[in-house]
Structure 1
């Protein structure tokens, strides 16, 4: 054995002993985000078939975003395939991964600078950006804590970090690094969501990107001496940058260019803004998309009313087939509703239409000692200017007769 080989082997032995000592004296703390965590198993196990879950959730909850859906499916599928042996390699990230990280960092420092999947969701309000980010997390993880929060999902509202004061910026950088470090030390495959990224300064944007592109200092989480691995996670930043230049009929390249031009102007002095070019554009919704959202929201309203009136009403909320299109047309003619996207349709149904239905239900359920089995049917008024809710009896002498 040469002198160099001997020195290297001794260095490995010393580092291994140090890591073992640290692991024995600095056992991992229970992460604040997931009280069900067990240090002897994977903190955030990946779902068995995340892409099937993704397809089902995206298709049932998001409308008018086929371009975004295809782009995310491709990127997420590639990422999951790349890390398909994650559970085997990281059976116990605190012990196994900590030892390997020491040796990897010593022998090949560049190996720790691999980048995670980074996506920039940009588009107008109410088109499904935040919900899609939630779906990405839900497709990968299913373990929840006592507060019903998904353990593998980490979200930061960047509006809370919008000050340009240098003193505040320094505190922001430290706070974000600490929170990201804690999350990834417990769950390296986390989905990290930075919402409203357009709210922050160029300096803070660069600081955040440095955590993931390998150009900044290693990320640590006390008391563990090994650097936190930032290459296994999925990073999603959400913004409305370029949203005023988008229209429902753009192709992906046109939409990406519109967002990129505005991002370059917004963060002109940023040295890291190139990473924001991993753009997934979310286009404005069409009137037809509004009708699809209306169907989903009417179903949700029916489920909500069934819970609220449990014990006094066991019917269903039904509607004529023209009703969703009527709602879409009504919202499409309202500039405020259009600017709010699908959220505008949701608000209209939650407030205006819900009031019409509940007035009919309260009349039906006046007798506390009886239970109504009648359905409540939503239809368009004879003049076509409004919706009306009527009780639809499930039993009629003229339709059904006793034998």
Structure 2
């Protein structure tokens, strides 16, 4: 997790959230970072941004063609997610005056492409992709593991977001494992996702928030199976068939980090994006892409062998992969 530009080498913000149990003055650290970065970029802006990542167009700008190409070539079996993400990201980033931050909540079983699509979005907005100083990833079980520190996590999370948006208004925050997050924690950032002109002089309306969760995966699968049993095409499933059921389901799920959250209650999440379970043909596409990414020619024997090794459900029909494409890379290692 990266908080400030590398030029400010001595900042205290490099401490992981889970380890930062000592009372520290995050406000002072952020203030020092902002002042020093402002001095460098204000005095020598062109020179600074030529060699060091900064919050300017040459480092932070949407590549719409690249986004569309990556979604088409790397994300398989997710026609709804492709359409929603492409429209939402393009509409938000081309709007000169958005009313609130872009907030997407991605739902589905493991291995269906939620992390992949987050990576694709980051790589087509930030020149350094996920390694950008302006892209920040939080993993619930890593950064917020202890229930007894809930109040501390709330304060610290607010400080991290406030400090980073101050440094770059076009910051991206990715929250993984939302289904494992402590209930009530995510409400701490509710003000930053709302329709405010600014909060304490900081404008949050240009930031991007992405939530990843397995919650809702069961309901998505039920609807997909129902379409299959009725003889309908997978591509006939539309966002309207799933979105309202997803939002209600995660809001009422006590095992979800969104349980009774004000983010849903106040309609602050722009899109609930469903990720459908992957079929055998999609697993084969994942294997083919993995071989291509490693510089190998397509080997149909390897592709079929890896796809055949995956387990599928329901027991009788065996339509969907239990793990999606999650273990494809590991299985390809074995054959190579």
Please report the TM-score for the alignment, with normalisation by the length of structure 2: 0.70
Q: 3-state SS of the aligned residue for 1:236?
A: strand
1:142 is displaced (CA, Å) by: 0.5
Does residue 269 (structure 1) correspond to residue 257 (structure 2)? The answer is: no
1:212 matched residue in structure 2: 193
Does residue 298 (structure 1) correspond to residue 291 (structure 2)? The answer is: yes
CA distance, structure 1, for counterparts of residue 259 and residue 302 of structure 2: 47
Unaligned stretches of 5+ residues in structure 1: 1-24, 32-36, 85-112, 220-226, 304-316, 355-403
2:132 matched residue in structure 1: 150
C-alpha distance 258-26 of structure 1, shift in aligned 2 (>3 A): closer
1:329 is displaced (CA, Å) by: 2.8
C-alpha distance 295-262 of structure 1, shift in aligned 2 (>3 A): same
1:78 is displaced (CA, Å) by: 0.8
Q: Which structure is richer in relative contact order (CA contacts within 8 A, separation 6 or more)?
A: 2
The answer to whether the 8 Å contact 2:105/2:272 transfers is yes
The answer to whether the 8 Å contact 2:176/2:212 transfers is yes
RMSD: 3.1
Q: 3-state SS of the aligned residue for 1:140?
A: coil
Q: 3-state SS of the aligned residue for 2:278?
A: coil
1:375 matched residue in structure 2: none
- Residues 97-246 of structure 1 mapped to structure 2, 5 A cutoff: 114-143=99-128, 149-159=131-141, 160-165=143-148, 168-213=149-194, 218=199, 227-246=201-220
- Which structure's CA Rg is the greater one? 1
- Residues 308-327 of structure 1 mapped to structure 2, 5 A cutoff: 317-327=296-306
The answer to whether the 8 Å contact 1:163/1:200 transfers is no
Does residue 252 (structure 1) correspond to residue 245 (structure 2)? The answer is: no
- Residues 326-345 of structure 1 mapped to structure 2, 5 A cutoff: 326-333=305-312, 338-345=321-328
Q: 3-state SS of the aligned residue for 1:343?
A: coil
C-alpha distance 341-28 of structure 1, shift in aligned 2 (>3 A): same
CA distance, structure 2, for counterparts of residue 173 and residue 277 of structure 1: 22
Please report the TM-score for the alignment, with normalisation by the length of structure 1: 0.59
Does residue 29 (structure 1) correspond to residue 3 (structure 2)? The answer is: no
CA distance, structure 2, for counterparts of residue 189 and residue 268 of structure 1: 28
1:30 is displaced (CA, Å) by: 4.0
